Amino acid sequence: MSASAKKSSSVQSIDPVWDAVRAGARQIIVTEPSLANLVISAVLNHETFEQALAHRIAARLDHEDVSADIIRQTFAEVIADTPKIGTDARVDLAATLERDPACHRAVEPLLYFKGYQAIQTHRFAHALFLAGRRDFALYLQSRASQVFQVDINPAVRIGKGIMLDHGTGLVIGETAVVGDNVSLLQGITLGGTGKADQDRHPKIGNGVLIGAGAKVLGNIKVGDCSRIGAGSVVLKEVPPRTTVAGVPAKVIGEAGCAQPALVMDQMILVHDLETAPSTANSDSPGVAPSA
């Protein structure tokens, strides 16, 4: 092998996310030996991050209907055809480590965090859906809903850098789109209105933060770097770089920072709602008290 080829091979082998995951796994074995079998099976027995990811998600989805082995083999085929899944999963993991104060090591989302595991399951399901394997994709959606309490239609397009905190109760409908670097908390619905078979779900821009329990309904756009307060019901388009809150949600001011999804501040003060400019005579979002 030439010197240049050796150098290229060395560069390609650098994987800081995988190195950090393995370092955390080794630490667990030292501090909690009772989990050694889990850590070795899920992480240390694998050569690549992608192999570990496929193994761990398949183990979580194991069922007598479709075994973990079959799911794992299918995931390996998907990764071979769609290597972007591994890249996006790394970015999601880094986002979780950066934004979740309860996450202290890179290994934790892979092993324990069902929000992270649910998003990765969706990435596999979406790839299968695009490849024409709709039934396997729908099975993964159904099984993920049972295991993680997260229900995302396999047709949904989701960007990278997604942080799904807790995940419980998240529902995303078929024609929804979620951009890059979005943070979603528990109990969120990105839903449709009516039953017509058409483009009927929200389009979430980049850098958006959606607070716990928020409902965004209909084929509406949520602009880049905007913030939706916890418990809000959003029925109209949200302008970029703004904060909306209330039932129904209305604009109460600017987003408060350049990228709300990275800051993770979902608190909307009562003072903000009371002092926001009224738009009662306008069709654009305005202010309304929280319900």
Over residues 275-286, the mean pLDDT reads 42
The three-state (H, E, C) secondary structure of 259-281, written as one string: CHHHHCCCCCCHHHHHHCCCCCC
| 273 pLDDT above the threshold of 90 | no
Residues above pLDDT 90, as percent of the chain = 79
Say if residue 6's pLDDT is above 60: no
Which pair of tokens denotes residue 254?
């600017």
pLDDT of 253: 86
> Over 50: is that where the pLDDT of 280 sits?
no
Residue with tokens 């987003």: 255
Most confidently modeled range among 8-12, 43-47, 275-279, 281-285: 43-47
pLDDT value, residue 171: 98
Closest CA to 180 of 157, 154, 205, 155: 205
Q: Is the pLDDT of residue 141 over 60?
A: yes
Q: Which domains does the chain have, with CATH numbers?
A: 15-149 (1.10.3130.10), 169-291 (2.160.10.10)
225-249: pLDDT as tens digits = 999 999 999 999 999 999 999 999 9
**pLDDT of 290 strictly over 80:** no
Q: How far is it, in rounded angstroms, from Cα 69 to Cα 63?
A: 10
Closest C-alpha to 120, from 97, 165, 88, 78: 88
pTM assigned to the model = 0.86
Cα 193 from Cα 187, distance rounded (Å): 18
Average pLDDT taken over every residue of the chain: 88
Q: What's residue 197's pLDDT? A: 76
pLDDT at site 282? 38
Report whether pLDDT(288) > 60. no
pLDDT 10s digits, 181-220: 999 999 999 999 877 778 999 999 999 999 999 999 999 9
